[in-house]
Every structure is written in structure tokens, then in C-alpha cells.
Amino acid sequence: MGVVYKALDEELERHIAIKTIKLADDSDLGMNEEDLDTLKKEAKIAARLNHPNIITIFDVGIWQEVPYFVMEYVEGFSLQDLIFDKNAFTLLEKVQILSKIARAIHYAHIRSVIHKDLKPANIMIQKNGEPIVMDFGIAKLHTGALAGKERVDQVYGTPQFMSPEQMLGYDLDGKTDIFSLGTMSYYFLTGEMPFTGEDLKEVVKSVLKKDPVRMRYYDKSIPEELDDAVFRALDKEKKNRYGHASDYSDILELVINKMGSYGMDNRAEVTRNETVIKQLKSQYLFFSDFDDEEVVEIFKLANKKEFKGGQIIFPEGVIGNEMYIIIEGKVQLLKNKTMNESVEIKALKSGNCFGEMAIVDSAPRSATAMAMEDTTVIAVNEAVLRINNPMLCLKLYRNLAALMAENLRQTSNKLFG
């Protein structure tokens, strides 16, 4: 679709990426005002997206009749380059990456942005393991004026990852991305494409008519729940797929929670820790009206996690969907001051909570959490709690909302009397 250049922004002293867009080979019309307007509109749509797992668009323009996007420079590797590296990810890490991609896609969908060309080559994996979704809006450019008048009705995209409705040229909604995400999930988890063929005609026939074999045929370690989740995303009838990309992510979070579980025997000793329960109810207003049985139920739905001293629990800026309760050890919350310097904003000990805002809204973390010594925490996943015990989750939502409202009132009184 074009060429990507690494460049230096001399004003802001940062590296950026410049992606040129290749015009159709049979287009000798050059760029006109209509083409330029189309390019700018698509750039504006893509630039609306401000999410840690979505590429940031800085600028758009035309140079010697070649349209280009200026984007943030992401250091890492494309998912396509890593799929066949057996040492790159564990199965659990793969599912975690897919869940984050699905959340990012949902973020775009609720802002009326559809990707239309989701594939491993459009996913970058940063050095910290965080995925970045690339090329929002660019696929759509190839179906309009930039493709040349004689090729407007040609379907663009990557056939192996396209939904049946995209193959047939129908109007598209967010469910086309869910199908593509399911295809990418299958490929990432097994190393095999769900839809294949010796030529384009056979690939199209496979997408439209054939059901792929189950993923467990290739890898018995894949849980049945994960197999089922991916196959629902791959349903040829879009009405049978997930309603939203976030629904797919929710199911993946359930799988992650189960795969990362230490088992009920190990959890039981934590749920019987009356001291921690007492500390939670006395120190945090959002637990104050929970009875002991309700706190124990939250513990049962959570996962016990252990961190070595100096280990990062989560970095600042990443999307969060878990809150943490310290069972043993100490945790330091740090705020980035510069790229190479951070300052402590709080030190926490046994019985303390942190990261609770993720329960209300999957937003970027405002600080880095680091274990100061060997530390054991309980990680409460918002999706797992909401799906398994919605009333308990609702109660936690309500109490957190009340706490935030009180904090806002106190701030208002300080500022305005």
C-alpha cells in the first residue's frame, strides 16, 4: 500500500514515521481537490483516536502528488514477524495481547471508526509487549478517489482476513472488524490460516462457504473456551458474532483469568485472611459496606499474583482492567517526571488497594506500580467480576462513583469556597 519512512522531527526532536500511500497503478489522473479532501477527512477520523494501543496521527499532506501520513514512531516488531517465533509469547501472553487489541478496536468503534483491514502486519508489538493497532482509515482510502475512477468498485484489503460481507461489497459496520480479529486470533494462536486456497478465487470461496477446523486440532493446549470464543467471532453470519469488540475481549478476559489461576486451594488461604478483610473495610470507603462474605467472593473471582522486589506490576500509560489488593509485601507508586526519571507519589503495604480506577473505566494507568520487596497481591479483573457476579460489581461501581463524587465536591470547595 506504500512505503514507510523513519524520520526526525527537528522541531520537537523526536522520531516519527511517514507513510506514503501508493496510488492505483492504472490511475494517471494525479491528485485533485476531491482526492485531497478525502485524504484529509480520513486523517481527521484516524486522528480522533487517542488510545495507548492505537497509533497516533500527527499530520497529513501531499508531496509531489504522493499522499502521506505522519505518525508516531513505534519501536518494535509487527505481529506478522513474531507469529512463527515460538519463544516470543506464551499462550497466555497471546490471549492477553488479543484482548488488548479487541479493547482498542472497541474504543475506535464507539467513535464511529472502523478499521477494515485488521491483520497481523497492521499490529506492532512494542518492547514492553504492548500492541499498537496501525493504519486506521487507510484501507478506506483505497476504495475511493485515490484508487482511480476505473477501480472504485474493486474490493481492497487482505482477502484472508476479510469478512464475508466485505468480500461481497456490502455496507460494513464494526462486526467486519470482529470477523477479521477472529481470523487474526486463529492465525496468531495456531500459526495456521483459517481460510486458505491456491488462488484468490479459492480463498474467497473458503471465507464465504467453508468452516475452518477447530484450533485444538493444531494445539491441544488451547482451552475449549478459547476455541469457542474465536469461532463465534468467525461466524459467517454477522448477527451471530459478538455485538461489540468489547464483548469478545470480555470472554478473552475470562479465559485469561482461568489460565492464570493458582487454583482454589492456594486462593483459600488468602480468602481466610481476616486481617486483610478488616483492613480493606476500615481503610477504603468503597469496601466499607461490604460484608465479609462479599469480600471473600471478590477474592474467589480474583487471581493471586506474586512479584519479586523491583518488578513492575504495571507501567504508567498502559490500559488497565484490574485493581489490586496487597496481601503481603510493599508496593511503590511512581509518576514519570522525564523519560529517565520518576518520583514516588505513594508507598503501600498489606491491606492497601491500588489501580481501582480500572474497575470504573479501562483508562490508561496514571502511575507505575512497582513491588518494593517480594509481594503477593489479589488482582480483581473488572470483566470477570462483572460477568460472574454483576450485582457485586454494581455495588463496587456505585461505591467508587460515590467516592469520586465526594472527592470532586472537596476539590470544588477548596477552589471556590
- Per-residue pLDDT at 31: 56
Own/partner long-range contacts of 155-162 (Cβ < 8 Å, ≥24 apart): 156/117, 157/116, 157/117, 158/117, 158/119, 158/121, 159/200, 159/203, 159/204, 159/207, 160/119, 160/193, 160/195, 160/196, 160/203, 160/207, 161/117, 161/118, 161/119, 162/207
The pLDDT of residue 222 is above 70: yes
- Percentage of the chain exceeding pLDDT 90: 44
Q: Domain-by-domain residue ranges, the chain? A: 77-258, 262-416
- Per-residue pLDDT at 63: 83
Q: Whole-angstrom Cα distance, residue 146 to residue 36?
A: 9
pTM strictly above 0.75: yes
Grid cell of 251 as nine digits: 470472554
SS3 190: helix
Confirm whether 77-258 and 262-416 share one CATH topology. no
End-to-end CA distance of the chain: 58
25 is catalytic: no
The active-site residue out of 25, 26, 81, 117 is 117
Give me the chain's average pLDDT, please: 84
- Considering only CA atoms, which of 298, 283, 179 is closest in space to residue 241? 179
| Lowest mean pLDDT, pick from 66-75, 123-132, 225-234 | 66-75
pLDDT tens track for 177-209: 999 999 999 999 999 999 988 888 899 999 999
Contact (Cβ atoms closer than 8 angstroms) between residue 367 and residue 335: yes
pLDDT tens track for 45-100: 777 788 999 998 888 888 887 888 888 999 999 999 999 888 889 999 999 999 99
The pLDDT of residue 101 is above 80: yes
Find the DSSP H helices in 32-173. Answer: 33-47, 79-82, 91-109, 138-141, 164-167
Grid cell of 284 as nine digits: 477504603
Backbone dihedral region of 118: left (phi > 0), alpha (psi from -120 to 50 degrees) or beta? beta
- Per-residue pLDDT at 148: 39
The strand pairing partners of 347, in sequence order, are: 332
The CATH number that domain 262-416 falls under is 2.60.120.10
Q: Is the dihedral of CA 282, 288, 293, 299 positive or negative?
A: negative
| Lowest mean pLDDT, pick from 21-30, 111-120, 293-302, 333-342 | 21-30
pLDDT tens track for 338-387: 666 788 888 999 888 899 887 777 778 889 999 999 999 989 999 999 99
- Per-residue pLDDT at 359: 78
User: At 225, is the pLDDT very low, low, confident or very high (cuts 50, 70, 90)?
Assistant: very high
State residue 332 phi and psi, 5-degree precision.
-110, 130
pLDDT tens track for 268-303: 455 556 778 888 888 888 888 888 888 888 888 888
The CATH number that domain 77-258 falls under is 1.10.510.10
Q: Whole-angstrom Cα distance, residue 208 to residue 167?
A: 8
Q: Whole-angstrom Cα distance, residue 404 to residue 410?
A: 10
| Lowest mean pLDDT, pick from 43-47, 137-141, 254-258 | 137-141
The pLDDT of residue 265 is above 70: no
